[in-house]
Structure 1
Amino acid sequence: MDRWRRSKLVLIFAKILGVIFPLKNKTRLGYFFISIAIGHLVVYLAAKDVLVSWLYHDDYLNITDMEDFETKLPIFQDYLYRSYVPYSIFNSLYPNETNADSKTLSVSQHLYENLNQEHDPRLIVSLWLNSLYQSLTHNNKLNSQFSLPFSWASILDLKSNFRVQYSTDLSNLDCIQFLGFAQIPLVNYTRHCQSLKSSPSGYPKVKFTGPLNYYTSIEAYKLASASYLLHSAPIPDRLCLLGVGPNGNAVNIPTYRARHDNSYNKYDLKSMIYDYLLTVPNESSHEFLYKGMNIQDQVQFLKEFWSSTDIESSYIPDRLIDGDVTRIIGSTMGHSTTLQKSDFQFDAEDFVNELKNKVSKSIEILTPNSLDHRLLRSIYPFDSNSEPPKYFHEASILGTSRGAHFDWRFFQKIDYSHYETQAILHRISRAWLRFAYNVGLNTWLAHGSLLGWYWNGLNMPWDQDLDVQITMESLITLARNYNQTLVVDLTSNNRENLGIGKYLIDVGSSIHLREKGNGENIIDARFIDIETGFYVDITAIAFTRSVEKLSVKHKSSNELNQLLDPEFTNKENSNTIVKEDLYSDLYKLLTLMYKDENIFNCKNDHFYNLQDLNPLIPTLYEGVIAYVPNRYKEILKREYRKSLLNYEYGGYTFRPMLDIWVPNKICSKDRIGDRCFDKEVLLETKYTRAITSTHRKEMDTRYRSPITYTQQDEHEPLRVDPWIIKRSEKVEKFIKSSIY
Structure 2
Amino acid sequence: MKFATCAAALASLSLFASTLAAPVAASPEKPQQTKEEVEAERQKALARQRNKYFHEPGGGHQLGHYDARFFHGIVSDQERHETQLTMIRAYLDYFRENDLDTWLAHGTLLGWWWNGKRLPWDWDMDTQVSGATLHHLGQAHNQTRTKYLSTDGQREREFLLDVNPWIWERERGDGANIIDARWIDTSNGLFIDITGLSETHPDTNPGVWVCKNYHRYATSDLYPMRETLFEGAIAKVPYAYDKILVQEYKEKALVVTDFEGHAWNMNQKEWIKTQAQIDKEAKEAKEQAAREAAEEEKKKKDTEMKRQAAEIKKLEDEEKRQLSQKKYDDAQEKKRQEAEAKRNQAEEEEEEVQQEEE
1:503/1:515 CA distance change after superposition, 3 Å: same
1:643/1:617 CA distance change after superposition, 3 Å: same
1:667 and 1:490 mapped to 2: Cα distance?
Answer: 32
Partner secondary structure for residue 455 of structure 1: helix
Q: How far apart are 1:491 and its partner, in Å?
A: 9.2
1:516 and 1:486 mapped to 2: Cα distance?
Answer: 28
Could you tell me which residue of structure 1 aligns to residue 57 of structure 2? Answer: 395
Partner secondary structure for residue 511 of structure 1: helix
1:512 and 1:544 mapped to 2: Cα distance?
Answer: 11
Is 1:478 paired with 2:137? yes
Is 1:515 paired with 2:175? no
1:644 and 1:600 mapped to 2: Cα distance?
Answer: 24
Partner secondary structure for residue 243 of structure 2: helix
Partner secondary structure for residue 85 of structure 2: helix
Report the structure number with the largest CA radius of gyration. Answer: 2
Partner secondary structure for residue 168 of structure 2: coil
Partner secondary structure for residue 501 of structure 1: strand
Give the TM-score of the pair, scaled to structure 2.
0.61
Say if 2:49 and 2:176, in contact at 8 Å, map to a contact too: no
Select which of 234, 252, 269 maps to 1:659: 269
Say if 1:617 and 1:627, in contact at 8 Å, map to a contact too: yes
CA deviation profile, 1:419-466 (whole Å, cap 9, x unmatched) = 221111101111111111111111000000000000011110111111
CA deviation profile, 1:638-688 (whole Å, cap 9, x unmatched) = 0000211111211111111111111232699xxxxxxxxxxxxxxxxxxxx
Give the TM-score of the pair, scaled to structure 1.
0.30
Select which of 69, 72, 81 maps to 1:409: 69
CA deviation profile, 1:298-347 (whole Å, cap 9, x unmatched) = xxxxxxxxxxxxxxxxxxxxxxxxxxxxxxxxxxxxxxxxxxxxxxxxxx
Could you tell me which residue of structure 1 aligns to residue 199 of structure 2? Answer: 543
1:408/1:491 CA distance change after superposition, 3 Å: closer
CA deviation profile, 1:167-215 (whole Å, cap 9, x unmatched) = xxxxxxxxxxxxxxxxxxxxxxxxxxxxxxxxxxxxxxxxxxxxxx99x
Is 1:504 paired with 2:163? no
Select which of 222, 225, 232 maps to 1:616: 225
Say if 1:510 and 1:524, in contact at 8 Å, map to a contact too: yes
1:652/1:491 CA distance change after superposition, 3 Å: closer
Is 1:605 paired with 2:264? no
Partner secondary structure for residue 126 of structure 2: strand
Could you tell me which residue of structure 2 aligns to residue 464 of structure 1? Answer: 123
1:438/1:388 CA distance change after superposition, 3 Å: farther
Flag the structure with higher strand content. 2
Could you tell me which residue of structure 1 aligns to residue 19 of structure 2? Answer: none
Flag the structure with higher helix content. 2
Say if 1:387 and 1:518, in contact at 8 Å, map to a contact too: no
Q: How far apart are 1:391 and its partner, in Å?
A: 0.5
1:528 and 1:394 mapped to 2: Cα distance?
Answer: 12
2:277 and 2:212 mapped to 1: Cα distance?
Answer: 42
1:452 and 1:491 mapped to 2: Cα distance?
Answer: 21
1:443 and 1:454 mapped to 2: Cα distance?
Answer: 17
1:519 and 1:667 mapped to 2: Cα distance?
Answer: 34
Partner secondary structure for residue 626 of structure 1: strand
Partner secondary structure for residue 495 of structure 1: coil
| Runs of at least 5 residues in structure 2 that lack an aligned partner in the other structure | 1-44, 279-358
For residues 167-566 of structure 1, the aligned pairs below 5 Å read 389-396=51-58, 401-414=61-74, 416-490=75-149, 495-497=153-155, 500-545=156-201
Partner secondary structure for residue 496 of structure 1: coil
1:401 and 1:463 mapped to 2: Cα distance?
Answer: 9
Amino acid at match of 2:58: S
Could you tell me which residue of structure 1 aligns to residue 338 of structure 2? Answer: none
Say if 2:61 and 2:123, in contact at 8 Å, map to a contact too: no
| Runs of at least 5 residues in structure 1 that lack an aligned partner in the other structure | 1-212, 215-385, 549-590, 669-740
Could you tell me which residue of structure 2 aligns to residue 644 of structure 1? Answer: 254
1:484 and 1:518 mapped to 2: Cα distance?
Answer: 25
Q: How far apart are 1:536 and its partner, in Å?
A: 0.6
1:395 and 1:666 mapped to 2: Cα distance?
Answer: 29
Amino acid at match of 1:470: V
Q: How far apart are 1:396 and its partner, in Å?
A: 2.2
Amino acid at match of 1:489: Y
1:534 and 1:448 mapped to 2: Cα distance?
Answer: 16
Partner secondary structure for residue 517 of structure 1: coil
Equivalenced residue count is 232
For residues 21-36 of structure 1, the aligned pairs below 5 Å read none
Q: How far apart are 1:608 and its partner, in Å?
A: 0.6
Amino acid at match of 1:405: H
Say if 1:387 and 1:517, in contact at 8 Å, map to a contact too: no
Say if 1:502 and 1:531, in contact at 8 Å, map to a contact too: yes
